[in-house]
Chain A
Amino acid sequence: MIAEFLSEADAVALGLTLKLAVVTTAVLIATGTPIAWWLANTPSRHKAWIASTIALPLVLPPTVLGFYLLVLLGPNGVGGRLTLALGLGTLPFTFAGLVLASSLYSLPFVVQPLQNAFEAIGPRPLEVAATLGAGPWDRFFSVAVPLARPGFLAAVVLGLAHTIGEFGVVLMMGGNIPGRTRVLSVALFDHVEALEYADAHHLAGGMVVFSFLALLALHSFRASPRPR
């Protein structure tokens, strides 16, 4: 069915985009959860500037982030020299590089719903769990995670949707290599440049529908009463 709508190249781009979104979201849940937990609970005076740094991608043009990553991780950048020394090659124009760039770019979309959810729990349920013999890790997984479930759902949906939708940071960091770094938004740009409007419509329309459905799912879950 997809073949009727999409050229083979676009289908490859779609597969790559989905893979990027899933991997990025997994990375973000793994790294964003401890960051959000820390931000929700820390009395540290460093909290303000750390939270601001994480939120930067919300306001920066994505090309700015992509540009700095490119410079930093290129063969002459500090990060690039490090990855070369470790025998990993350089990250720009690779899938791993895309994952890194997307993760940084989508970080606030995962951290903020999680942080809000953790803050909404308040200290009491965790204190009760502690007096009932649950250690810190146990309290986190048996109380904080289940109670923050709506936050996790929002984080996953926003992480996926935002990664699928990004363009600037991907173009700067990944370039346009079919099967490796050419994702849907880049493919769309190519179609438009080549005046292939029919193909462009399929991609653009598909992304609008997908994004809408993702947000609709999120809002319907939020609006529905808590499961009993």
Chain B
Amino acid sequence: MALRIARGPASVVLDLDLPPKGVIALFGPSGSGKTTCLRLLAGLDRGQGEVRVLGDWWQDDSRALFVPVHRRSVGCVFQDHTLFPHLSVLENIQYGKKRSRDPERIDTDSVVELLGIAPLLDRRPDSLSGGERQRVAMAQALARQPRVLLLDEPLAALDEARKKEILPYIERLRDELSIPIVYVSHAIGEVTRLADHLVLLEAGRVVASGPIHDVLTRLDLAGTLNEDTGVVIDATVVAHDGPNELSQISFDGGTLWVGGIDRPAGAKVRARALARDVSLALERPGPSSILNVLVARVTAVRDEGPDRVLVGLMLDGGHVALLARVTRRSMGTLGLRAGLTVYAQIKSVALFA
């Protein structure tokens, strides 16, 4: 996927090459151009440039080519998505399926099953809860047999409980579907939980774009992410400490203890460690209340203002990176510099499972 678009006098400038699979998150504060980006991709808005999706040209100004929305193979779910109120849930889902010119690549029955909306098919949209409505909207978009699914803040209008209810469904779609999902959000929690590829936007410009592990471990982006600076770690459940409500997860670089999770050994989970929750020591700490201590090598230190620095770390094994935010005073005391081996203590690990 490629998107090279300028819109208005330098209001949005996008130059993106996106992977053909997985969840691609467009993340940034309000007004950063995320939704515009999605609308340009879908053809709902028009800028100057080119849009190419999985080999299909949707816009190329050099050839005066602009494929109208209804001929682009996209499925869209909006934040305030409107199902057609004059149609039943089933008719809503069939609306796009009937009009699709694409080969059937997504089995609608399976999607209905996957999203748990089989019991809702005869209902009218105005009798659905917000969460149910968004799940039906996803089925509607997918029944159209799109080559790419575009989700524009699909959870933003829902309360926390509903978000928690829907996120697993989106994870299932990510794992089961063979089409890419472009996910627009200003909620870092959703993004770090779902995304494989992260595009950071700020004031209509792309600040960074790449695999989520690469983007989140970049030291130069902390100014954009602020308190949300931190890495995600993909791991596997290895053991449970039932009596103490703890679970152990393992990844290429060590193991971590996390709050007990209801997943069997072998299950894939994603954990998130914020830079502000990682502290460093030169020697292996003695008995401590902190459960997670990992051996790491300092890769870089970056100034973050007069009082603190951001430290890039590479864990044993050389594949998983970590970030730690420490005071400038600690940097001096420990003599932190690239190449130094340290013990990283992680005060808390958030787990998405």
Interface bits B179-209 vs A (CB < 8 Å: 1, else 0): 0000000000000000000000000000000
| Bound: A149/B124 CA distance, A | 17
The answer, among A128, A135, A139, for a CB contact under 8 Å with B82, is: A128
Pairwise interchain contact A132-B86, C-beta atoms closer than 8 A: no
Interface bits B132-170 vs A (CB < 8 Å: 1, else 0): 000000001100100000100000000000000000000
- Neighbouring B residues of A228 by C-beta, 8 Å: 124, 126-127
Q: In the complex, what's the smallest C-beta–C-beta distance from B80 to chain A, in angstroms?
A: 7
| Bound: A146/B84 CA distance, A | 10
Stretch at the interface among B96-104, B110-118, B266-274, B281-289: B96-104
Pairwise interchain contact B78-A143, C-beta atoms closer than 8 A: no
Pairwise interchain contact B80-A124, C-beta atoms closer than 8 A: yes
Q: In the complex, what's the smallest C-beta–C-beta distance from B106 to chain A, in angstroms?
A: 14
- Neighbouring A residues of B100 by C-beta, 8 Å: 133
| Bound: A130/B95 CA distance, A | 11
Closest to B74 in A: A131
Interface bits A130-150 vs B (CB < 8 Å: 1, else 0): 111111101100110011010
A125 near B: Cβ within 8 Å?
A: yes
Within 8 A of B (CB), among A6-44: none
Pairwise interchain contact A132-B78, C-beta atoms closer than 8 A: no
Pairwise interchain contact A128-B81, C-beta atoms closer than 8 A: yes
Q: In the complex, what's the smallest C-beta–C-beta distance from A54 to chain B, in angstroms?
A: 28
Closest to B80 in A: A124
Q: In the complex, what's the smallest C-beta–C-beta distance from B74 to chain A, in angstroms?
A: 6
The answer, among B86, B96, B141, for a CB contact under 8 Å with A147, is: B86
B69 near A: Cβ within 8 Å?
A: yes
Within 8 A of A (CB), among B38-93: 42, 44, 68-72, 74-76, 78, 80-86
| Bound: A171/B127 CA distance, A | 53
Pairwise interchain contact A133-B99, C-beta atoms closer than 8 A: yes
Pairwise interchain contact B99-A125, C-beta atoms closer than 8 A: no
Pairwise interchain contact B70-A130, C-beta atoms closer than 8 A: yes
Pairwise interchain contact A138-B42, C-beta atoms closer than 8 A: no
Pairwise interchain contact A138-B99, C-beta atoms closer than 8 A: yes
Q: In the complex, what's the smallest C-beta–C-beta distance from A97 to chain B, in angstroms?
A: 40
Count, chain B residues at interface, CB 8 A: 30
Pairwise interchain contact B144-A133, C-beta atoms closer than 8 A: yes
- Neighbouring A residues of B72 by C-beta, 8 Å: 131
The answer, among B78, B86, B101, B124, for a CB contact under 8 Å with A128, is: B78
Pairwise interchain contact A133-B82, C-beta atoms closer than 8 A: no
A204 near B: Cβ within 8 Å?
A: no
The answer, among B70, B96, B126, B144, for a CB contact under 8 Å with A135, is: B70
Closest to A121 in B: B82
Known: A124-B78, A128-B78. A133 touches B96 (CB 8 A): yes
- Neighbouring B residues of A132 by C-beta, 8 Å: 70, 75, 95-96, 99, 140-141, 144
Pairwise interchain contact B75-A131, C-beta atoms closer than 8 A: yes
Pairwise interchain contact A129-B95, C-beta atoms closer than 8 A: yes
- Neighbouring B residues of A131 by C-beta, 8 Å: 42, 44, 69-70, 72, 74-76, 96, 141, 144, 150
Pairwise interchain contact A125-B101, C-beta atoms closer than 8 A: no
Q: In the complex, what's the smallest C-beta–C-beta distance from B144 to chain A, in angstroms?
A: 5
Pairwise interchain contact B44-A125, C-beta atoms closer than 8 A: no
Closest to A145 in B: B86
The answer, among B70, B78, B85, B86, for a CB contact under 8 Å with A133, is: B70
Pairwise interchain contact B82-A130, C-beta atoms closer than 8 A: no
| Bound: A128/B78 CA distance, A | 8
A-B contact pairs, 19 of them (CB 8 A): A124-B82, A127-B44, A127-B69, A128-B83, A128-B84, A128-B140, A129-B84, A130-B70, A131-B70, A131-B74, A131-B96, A131-B150, A132-B96, A132-B140, A132-B141, A133-B100, A146-B86, A147-B84, A228-B124
The 4 closest A-B pairs by CB, nearest first: A132-B96, A133-B99, A131-B76, A130-B69
